[in-house]
């Protein structure tokens, strides 16, 4: 991860980045922004002359490189900052990370009086836009390792940069977990990664239930989904409980480390990226580790039900009835609707044993999410207006996207079963909506304090886009951390 340093006296100006904003009125030319640390003599005049010649607009993320052989600095980069809010600076930081990938060190001269939120956005963009995942040698890996941020008062921005570092580090962890091929990643491996990461953070407690404990305690959904694999299921329970916490939040994340669809097997094109089917578990685990790293005064318990949905003689069958934690039963006519089965166990356990104030789950649950909202937006469901409003605001300010969807009462009748308490995968109506309604049945007296996000689509990105890089996005980590930090 890039080393970012705040400084009032930059020592290396071989590559200097100067911010440029759009013209203040329609049709007006872009203009350089006065910086807290003055650039070398003559540079301001050179930039003013360069902007119109380069047709530089100043939009967020726009970069122009000017070579200056024999000069100091030797390279001058104009960086568009658009509206200069946190989101614009985040996009600009990501663009800078890519434009400067052949450099080893750059210095960014920040505007005089820049807001801490802007500095946080810039740092997050730099750290997330420079992310790469590769198991083998990477001859094209970025050379950039050090970024100096030139400001008048470094101490004023230390907290903003530290929060950005932690947020980016945890988002990158979620990306790493999700990107890992399932030839390596199984439930045991995932649990081991959580154990290793939690060991570095005092104050966290961890319990990992293995198949024997799951059977003894009645986690029938997790056992059914994981029963067809040679790699047994797990339930990770991670708890951060500071003494001054007044609110207890339980986070639940779907952790299917690979999904073949089971007996209801997927076609090959739909199966190729199913290593990402544990992105919800990765997000809630990483967010909880971030809460601990930042020392936030909120209790967070994370549940990550982990299973590999495989085809074998031991796999559960379409038409089987599964008994979940707490006793509710599900008729499972489609083994490719497995994520809701493991989530149901975890939600029921949270309600009955943990009794939190708020209950939130994230899951790569349905393809219908993308059909309804496209590839960048999660589908958010809740009967609690305030909870939905607060999380939507946090997700948006963190640079992610979600849209609130309805929980229509006339769909509930489709959950009826002749054999069991519930039908887990009815075919009538909207798939993402029905999945949410099914999960709500396991929230008991927390139904009015529960929120579900179907984040299948935004968990993956097919191309570099601002702070997102091709592959896993780590969606949910940033939004959850922003929301948890704001809780009383």
Burial of 267 (0-12, 13-18, 19+ CB in 10 A): exposed
CA-CA distance, 253 to 369, in Å (whole number)?
A: 16
Answer yes or no: 276 catalytic: no
Phi and psi at 211, nearest 5°, equal -50, -40
Residues 385, 386, 391, 397, CA torsion sign: positive
Note whether 474 and 282 are within 8 A (CB). Answer: yes
The helix/strand/coil state of 435 is: helix
DSSP readout, 130-191?
T----SS--TT-----EEEEE-S-GGGGHHHHHHHHHHHHHHHHHHHHHHS-TTT--HHHHH
CA-CA distance, 415 to 423, in Å (whole number)?
A: 5
Catalytic residue (choose from 75, 234, 323, 340): 340
Q: Beta 320-323 vs 402-404: how paired, if at all?
A: unpaired
Q: Find the helix or strand (DSSP H, E) in which 390 lies.
A: helix 385-397
CA-CA distance, 66 to 351, in Å (whole number)?
A: 59
Cα-based distances in Å from 289 to 99, 197, 295, 299, 446: 31, 8, 10, 12, 25
Catalytic residue (choose from 101, 266, 404, 470): 266
Note whether 259 and 229 are within 8 A (CB). Answer: no
In angstroms, the first-to-last Cα distance of the chain is 32
**Other residues' Cβ atoms within 10 Å of the Cβ of residue 414:** 15
Answer yes or no: 266 catalytic: yes
For the CA atoms of 269, 271, 275, 280, the dihedral, rounded to the nearest 10 degrees, stands at 100
The helix/strand/coil state of 363 is: strand
Q: Which residues have a Cβ under 8 Å from the Cβ of 26 and sit 6 or more positions away?
A: none
Q: Find the helix or strand (DSSP H, E) in which 236 lies.
A: strand 234-240
Q: Which of the residues are catalytic?
A: 266, 340
């Amino acid at each position: 991860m890039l080393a970012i340093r705040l400084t009032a006296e930059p020592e290396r100006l071989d590559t200097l980045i100067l911010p440029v904003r759009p013209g203040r009125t329609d049709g007006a030319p872009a203009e350089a922004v006065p910086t807290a640390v003055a650039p070398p003599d003559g540079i301001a005049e050179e930039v003013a002359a360069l902007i119109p010649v380069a047709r530089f607009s100043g939009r967020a993320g726009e970069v122009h490189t000017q070579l200056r052989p024999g000069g100091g600095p030797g390279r001058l980069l104009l960086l568009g900052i658009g509206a200069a809010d946190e989101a614009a600076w985040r996009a600009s930081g990501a663009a800078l990370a890519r434009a400067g990938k052949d450099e080893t060190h750059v210095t960014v001269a920040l505007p005089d009086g820049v807001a801490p939120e802007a500095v946080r956005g810039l740092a997050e963009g730099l750290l997330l836009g420079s992310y790469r995942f590769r198991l083998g040698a990477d001859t094209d890996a970025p050379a950039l390792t050090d970024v100096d941020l030139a400001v008048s008062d470094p101490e004023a921005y230390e907290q903003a940069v530290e929060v950005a570092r932690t947020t980016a580090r945890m988002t990158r962890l979620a990306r790493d977990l999700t990107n890992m091929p399932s030839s390596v990643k199984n439930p045991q491996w995932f649990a081991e990664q959580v154990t290793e990461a939690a060991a570095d953070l005092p104050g966290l407690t961890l319990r990992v239930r293995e198949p024997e404990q799951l059977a003894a305690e009645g986690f029938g959904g997790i056992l059914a989904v994981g029963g067809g694999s040679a790699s047994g299921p797990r339930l990770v329970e991670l708890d951060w409980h500071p003494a001054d916490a007044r609110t207890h939040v339980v986070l639940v994340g779907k952790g299917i480390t690979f999904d073949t669809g089971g007996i209801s097997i997927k076609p090959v094109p739909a199966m190729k990226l199913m290593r990402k089917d544990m992105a919800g578990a990765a997000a809630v685990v990483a967010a909880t580790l971030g809460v601990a790293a930042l020392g936030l005064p909120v209790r967070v318990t994370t549940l990550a039900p982990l299973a590999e949905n495989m085809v074998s003689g031991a796999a559960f069958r379409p038409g089987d009835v599964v008994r979940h934690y707490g006793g509710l039963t599900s008729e499972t006519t489609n083994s490719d609707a497995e994520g809701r089965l493991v989530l149901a166990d975890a939600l029921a356990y949270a309600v009955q044993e943990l009794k939190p104030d708020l209950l939130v789950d994230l899951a790569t649950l349905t393809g219908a999410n993308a059909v309804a909202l496209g590839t960048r937006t999660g589908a958010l469901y809740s009967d609690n207006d305030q909870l939905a409003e607060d999380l939507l605001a946090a997700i948006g300010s963190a640079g992610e996207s979600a849209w609130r969807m309805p929980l229509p009462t006339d769909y509930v009748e489709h959950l009826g079963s002749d054999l069991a308490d519930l039908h887990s995968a009815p075919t009538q109506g909207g798939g993402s909506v029905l999945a949410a309604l099914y999960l709500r049945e396991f929230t008991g007296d927390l139904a009015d304090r529960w929120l579900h996000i179907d984040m299948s689509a935004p968990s993956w990105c097919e191309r570099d886009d601002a702070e997102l890089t091709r592959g896993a996005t780590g969606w949910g980590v940033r939004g959850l951390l922003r929301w948890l930090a704001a809780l009383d």
